[in-house]
Each structure stands twice: as structure tokens, then as C-alpha cells.
Amino acid sequence: MLPNISTQTRPRACPSPALFYPPHSNSIGWEFIRSKPLLPVRQTQTHICTDICIHLSHTMLARNTLRQTIRKAQPMAGRTLTTAVLPKLDYDFGALEPFVAGQINEIHYTKHHQTYVNSFNAASEQLASAEKDGDLKKIVELQNLINFHGGGHINHSLWWKNLAPKGQGGGELPSPDSPLGKAIKEQWGDANKLIETTNAALAGVQGSGWAWIVKNKLTGDIEVITKQNQDPVAGNHIPLVGIDAWEHAYYLQYKNVKADYFKAIWNVINWQEAEKRFLGEAKFVNGQ
């Protein structure tokens, strides 16, 4: 079960029912503002009232109206703050050797992943404070931090589960008679062709990122996709197997010959976990 998530309650200001916060930073779309008098009509004492939709960053009027609405709002029931927690590993740091050095796993887990967890939680705290204060500029600025570090936490939580030592499932391809094995054979011919395609995708990642074997929710097809930086798998894709192409995942051992790392990592890929994800039996981060 990935990863440990705890919640705590924090007070917050309740936005007006006429105000909608987008759930994602990249979807800062149209904000709905309640009916307000706009322009006086000449020779009459009536006002034109209208419902208006204004993009958050479109005009200063929109910013000011949103800010005033938040500041005037009264507190309501507490806000639930999601806290990320570093997941427990199913194996020791050195259990994946010689394919992944124990030192790499230790640094990867205790330094890199822990930093994503700490930074996500810190940004979440700041976001809660900014929402309470109605600081729209700060709210927008924090979205990139939350997306990056939250994505890093999600990706690495899946990463640790999709690895296993040799003799404990690591590198053992799906049974041809299993649902995943049948799907791979039908769509790819065999698992080696799927692995070859994934490695080609990894070689094409410029800078830092990931390659993922995913299941398309709409078609049921098994596909290979890449993601830049720490962008997580989302939308209609279910992550089955992810390969970390960041230098911190291999450089201490493989130096600049990352192709050797891409070849070696399949010896410790946990296809049993991939099968669970394919069947919808594995619980992902935040219940996804």
C-alpha cells in the first residue's frame, strides 16, 4: 500500500460559494464571481447585474475581487491537510545488488525521496496559510512546488514498490497465462519487445524524467510513455512499471553509461506488482 498518508485538520477561511478554486496549478481556468452591479444605466436608477467569468490572471479587477471575497469570508469547518510520509521499503538497501548499488538506494531513499516529502509538506503548509490570508500571488507561486515535490513523492513511492530482489520476484516476467502476460503477448508479441521499446523511450528522455509502462483506462491497451522531471502519470493512464531516468538513480554506479543501467534495472523489476496494478488490485498514492 503506497505510501503512508496521514491527515490533520487545520482551520481555514471558507471561500464564497461563488468562488471556485481549480484543483491543479495547470488548470487555473475560469473563476466564477458572484453577480455584482457593474455599470449604471443612464436615465435610470437601475443597475445592470450580470454573472461574469474572468480568468484569474486576466485583469486586476478580477484579482482584487477575488482577494476581497476571500478576506471577507468567514471561517468554517477545518481544512484537511494531506501530509506525505516516506513509505517503508520491502527490502534492504543492498538487496538489489549487483544491479543497483546499496549506496545508490540509500541516498535515493533517505536524501532524494525524503526531500520530496519534506518539501511537499512545507509547501502544503504555506499554501494553507496563503489561502487563509487570501494571498493569491502566493497561492499561484506555490503550485509549481507542490506539483514538483508531490510528483516526486508519488513517482518514488511507486518506484520502490516496482522493484524486488532477485529470488523474490525481481526480474521474473509475467506468466504467459496471467492477465498481464496475455495482454503483453497480444499487443507486443512478448515482454522483451515491450522492454526494448521502453529502453528506447528512456534513451530519448532529455535531461531528467521517467519512462512508464502504463495501462490505458479507455482501451485497456498497454502503452509506453515518458514524463519530464517529476510529472506523475495521470489522466487515463494507470502506471504499471516506472523507470527513473534521473542521474541520481544510477550515476554513482553506471556513471554516464546510462544504457547499461536501463538494461540492468529489468533484473529487479517486480512484475508481480505490475500485475496487481494491471488488475486494479494495488492502491496507489492518494487512493488513485
19 has pLDDT over 50: no
Mean pLDDT of the chain: 80
pLDDT for 144-185, tens place per residue? Answer: 999 999 999 999 999 999 999 999 999 999 999 999 999 999
pLDDT for 81-95, tens place per residue? Answer: 779 999 999 999 999
pLDDT above 90 covers what percent of the chain?
Answer: 69
Q: How confident is the model at residue 69 (pLDDT cuts 50, 70, 90)?
A: very low
pLDDT for 176-217, tens place per residue? Answer: 999 999 999 999 999 999 999 999 999 999 999 999 999 999
Q: What is the model's pLDDT at position 23?
A: 34
Q: What is the model's pLDDT at position 284?
A: 59
Q: How confident is the model at residue 225 (pLDDT cuts 50, 70, 90)?
A: very high
- Average of pLDDT values for 120-138? 94
279 has pLDDT over 70: yes
2 has pLDDT over 60: no
234 has pLDDT over 90: yes
> Which residue segments constitute the domains of the chain, with CATH numbers given?
6-78 (no CATH), 179-287 (3.55.40.20)
Q: What is the model's pLDDT at position 66?
A: 41
57 has pLDDT over 90: no
123 has pLDDT over 80: yes
- DSSP sequence for the chain: ----EEEEEE--BPPPTT----SSGGG--EEEEEEEEEEEPTTSS-EEEEEEEEETTT-HHHHHHHHHHHHHPPB-SPEEEEEE-PPPPSS-GGGGTTTS-HHHHHHIIIIIIHHHHHHHHHHHHHHHHHHHHT-HHHHHHHHHHHHHHHHHHHHHHHHHHTB--TTTTBT-PPPTTSHHHHHHHHHHSSHHHHHHHHHHHHHT--SSEEEEEEEETTT--EEEEEEETTPPP-TTEEEEEEEE-SGGGTHHHHTT-HHHHHHHGGGGBBHHHHHHHHHT-S--GGG-
| Of 28-42, 71-85, 125-139, the least confident | 28-42
Q: What is the model's pLDDT at position 246?
A: 98
8 has pLDDT over 90: no
